[in-house]
């Protein structure tokens, strides 16, 4: 799966170099056997971003660092390209202020809204992140009061699904923001939600969030893995 993700990153037209950052000898061996660059990192990192930063600090000429999480095997190269383009445009703008660019996808089922493994993001009118949560946010209070529960509200008012956005495991960092991030201690909200992007928000970093080109599935459980395997096999059957 990690090799699959790396290969999708390599297919992005505006990514110059792809390195798999891992503390696992098993992953290092598997990735190396596929001819993909890999870096063995320390084992004591508390987040994936800290691991990426350990490698990024050795690449002085990279102004933009892309973190594609290894549990996103269906992420499209076009989505990576769009996120990198957004950061590049922000950096070249006189009014640009984004420290991080990430992506969102629509949510199409009540089960996904209620799933704590699927992270939701709330945006302001300019497309910047206000908050990330494992809980259903924004919470439709009036509809829940009307129908008695969130499940019933989603069933009776399916248009409510449009108010929720799934966060995708892709980050594009300004290099200085990434390196500063790793020097900050874990924040209170980060510890509560187990979401490292909240550390950036609590330190005032602007996170620009753009829509992904195609849907993806983060592999957090064995069921997720089986779902992804089925989709990959189905796609392969269609192209043969």
Residue 214: pLDDT above 80?
Answer: yes
Helix (H, G, I), strand (E, B) or coil at 106: strand
Report which DSSP code applies to 132.
E
CB 18 within 8 A of CB 9: yes
pTM higher than 0.85, yes or no?
A: yes
CB 122 within 8 A of CB 201: no
Look at residues 73, 84, 80 and name the one whose alpha carbon lies nearest to residue 3: 73
Angstrom distance (rounded) from CA 41 to CA 52? 9
Residue 225: pLDDT above 60?
Answer: yes
C-alpha torsion angle, residues 205, 15, 117, 219 (rounded to 10): -160
User: In the chain, what are the domains?
Assistant: 65-238 (3.90.550.10)
CA distances in angstroms from 45 to 25, 51, 175, 183, 185, listed in the order given: 16, 6, 18, 12, 12
| Contacts for 220 with CB less than 8 Å, ≥ 6 apart | 71, 117
pLDDT digits (tens, 9 = 90+) for 64-108: 999 998 888 889 999 999 999 999 999 998 888 999 999 999 999
Q: What average pLDDT does the structure give for the chain?
A: 92
Residue 30: pLDDT above 80?
Answer: yes
Q: Hey, which residues does 133 pair with through a beta bridge?
A: 120
Mean pLDDT, to the nearest integer, of 202-222? 91
């Amino acid at each position: 799966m990690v090799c699959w993700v790396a290969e999708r990153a390599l297919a992005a037209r505006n990514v110059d170099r792809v390195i798999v950052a891992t503390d696992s000898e098993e992953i290092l061996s598997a990735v190396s056997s596929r001819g993909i660059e890999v870096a063995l990192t320390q084992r004591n990192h508390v987040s994936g971003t800290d691991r990426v930063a350990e490698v990024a600090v050795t690449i002085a000429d990279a102004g933009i660092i892309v973190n594609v999480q290894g549990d996103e095997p269906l992420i499209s190269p076009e989505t990576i390209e769009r996120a990198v383009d957004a950061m590049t445009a922000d950096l070249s703008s006189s009014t640009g202020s984004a420290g991080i660019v990430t992506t969102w996808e629509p949510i199409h089922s009540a089960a996904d809204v209620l799933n704590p493994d699927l992270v939701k993001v709330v945006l302001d009118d300019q497309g910047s992140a206000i908050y990330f949560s494992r809980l259903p946010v924004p919470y439709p209070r009036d509809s829940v009061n009307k129908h008695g529960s969130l499940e019933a509200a989603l069933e009776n008012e399916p248009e409510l699904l449009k108010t929720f956005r799934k966060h995708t495991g892709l980050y594009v960092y300004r290099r200085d923001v990434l390196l500063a991030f790793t020097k900050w201690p874990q924040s209170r909200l980060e510890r509560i939600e187990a979401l490292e992007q909240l550390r950036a928000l609590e330190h005032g970093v602007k996170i620009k969030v753009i829509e992904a080109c195609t849907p993806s599935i983060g592999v957090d459980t064995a069921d997720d893995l089986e779902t992804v395997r089925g989709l990959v096999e189905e796609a392969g059957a269609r192209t043969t």
